[in-house]
Structure 1
């Protein structure tokens, strides 16, 4: 083997080592990139799930508020009905008192 052959063999060996190291580094980087991509996808999925839950909670809150308003309206109508009944009853009582008063005055 000539010195030039030895040098060529040494250079080939070093090139092979460098290529192997480069390949290994590339694989590590690709692995890290894939891992990071999965993590981002998981975070996006979690964010979408949280958004979905928040939307459902907001919808439920609106339904609850609408139900409360409906109940308040129903209660207000019932109170108005009772108030009208009381006013009619009280008006009737006043009329009876006026009639009795007029009868007593007339006698």
Structure 2
């Protein structure tokens, strides 16, 4: 085979891999935990947990939040939440945002030390 054809085949094989690697850039810290949208996401996660478990937790605050762009249509958010309950505690939750649907889905919700 000609070297040019081999180089072209190699380029065509690597191009899709670079597109896949560009997805999911890694978790990035969001500084503004007081953003109303972030607060609403935390309230949504607590309400979803209460609906599923009848726990009666009360949302207090988002302590930290990071995000990771999954693809052009979805972003994952990792929120560390302070809640009132018996006893008051903290929880980590992962919320997936579907941008084209304007919809959130809670993927994970579990207690975490404060």
TM-score normalised by length of structure 2? 0.27
Question: Which structure has the greater CA radius of gyration?
Answer: 1
Structure with more strand by fraction? 2
